[in-house]
Amino acid sequence: MRRQAFIGVLGLCLTRLCLAQESAIAPIAPGTPAASHSVVVRARALIDGTSAQPRANQEILISGDRITAVYAAGTRPPPPGAEVLDLGSATVLPGLIDCHTHIFLQGEVPAAGGYDIQLLKFPASYRAARAVVAVRRALEQGFTTIRDVETEGAGYGDVGIRQAIDEGYIPGPRMFVSTRAISTTGGYNLEGYAPEIVVPKGAQLIDGPVEARKAAREQLDHGADWIKVYMTHRSWVDEQGALVSQPTLTVEELKAIVDETHGWRKKVACHAYNGIGLQRALDGGCDSIEHGLELTDAQIAQMVKQGTWLVPTLAVYYYDHDPPDTPTGKRDRKRVEVHGISFQKALRAGVRIAFGTDVGGFVWTDPIAQEFARMVEFGMTPMQAIQSATSRAAELLGERGRLGVVAPGAYADLIAVASDPLADVNALKNVAFVMKNGVVVRSALASAGK
Ligand SMILES: [Zn+2]
């Protein structure tokens, strides 16, 4: 079986774990080693995802796809037959988690046709092929888990990509998917075409609580792990210079979705910039606010009280600003201006913040980890930013203790970086070693392995 046939593309294969065993007809293996197989990873510095400080000279014992023990290096002999991976002077961390991705988007670069061309001119197969590349890029960059928050007109494509990864046909992170997303009439692209022409929409549009609940049921039925709702859509700057966002669903519509989704023991992520739509998102019981560009003090207090998560996606708003003297240019700049302040206030107030980037909204060739530096710029310590992408993100996903930590019982998802990310968080842009489910999928560390 070709367990990791892509390894040659990603980097050196340094361990027998990822040795390709060629077979003419077998699919790539599920990427999960035999439960009896043991690996010891030696870490000069370990950031475990929850501790306030890194731990020096640790060994991580892995059996199959799980971490079974973490202890001071040299205090236990490796189990008989165990692989030993000495990662030299690198810093080891849990696999990273991006809670806001779009694998079916390829940036919205105006010169490349922007958003619309992706729905109007790209065949579904082409979009799926590029999504396969996107998930590989995420994994290569150390993101071993993603929450993909809708396919932008590509239907249930994310469900199939998730399955292909889980079955080992393609490399990629473990995925939490939200399928089509939900908005209202007038609440999502494509728009601006002649009324006589029917164009595809990037989300499932509903009007009324009955349609809202039905859409949630359909999406859950077809494999959604999360439901994504757009609670605001268009935005602009008004005469007073304030950012205004068009609200979409009513509280009643949203409540129908939240009630249905929570009944399935799943959660609802709400895109919301500010104003009426954001207030409805909170009053309707959203589990996570995506973007949250402009949160009032009262809204922040409500988020703290309700335990609502914020997934800020700071970096994406620095892309592709229109000229400053145009309405959209003014809006682009205003969004950035209010976003940082909002993030700082939420952070100070103790809002639960999880790492998310909106990658796909920017191209997959750019570093996903650029978001860390923005979080630090607006007040997080590097350790807080790292935890937002590890243990905190895992909490948002309902995977506390299983993902985002290097601790017994967790999945063996590890990364390593050559320089200290606590000194410069941009070190996370250069992830040199990635293990998912106990299988090495990338290793470019000169001193790694044996
Ligand atoms: Zn998004």
Residue 74: the pLDDT is 93
Rg (CA), the chain: 22
C-alpha of residue 195 to centroid of ligand 1, in Å:
26
C-alpha of residue 43 to centroid of ligand 1, in Å:
35
Q: In whole angstroms, what is the distance from residue 178 CA to residue 11 CA? A: 31
Mean pLDDT of the region 362-374: 97
Residue 444: the pLDDT is 86
C-alpha of residue 138 to centroid of ligand 1, in Å:
16
Q: 27 near 168, Cβ under 8 Å?
A: yes
State the chain's mean pLDDT as an integer: 92
C-alpha of residue 11 to centroid of ligand 1, in Å:
30
C-alpha of residue 361 to centroid of ligand 1, in Å:
7
Q: In whole angstroms, what is the distance from residue 186 CA to residue 102 CA? A: 22
Q: In whole angstroms, what is the distance from residue 119 CA to residue 391 CA? A: 35
Q: In whole angstroms, what is the distance from residue 346 CA to residue 359 CA? A: 22
pLDDT exceeds 70 at position 107: yes
The better pLDDT of the pair 231, 11 is held by: 231
Mean pLDDT of the region 248-272: 98
Task: With 0.75 as the threshold, say if the pTM is over it.
Answer: yes
Q: In whole angstroms, what is the distance from residue 414 CA to residue 48 CA? A: 10
pLDDT exceeds 80 at position 374: yes
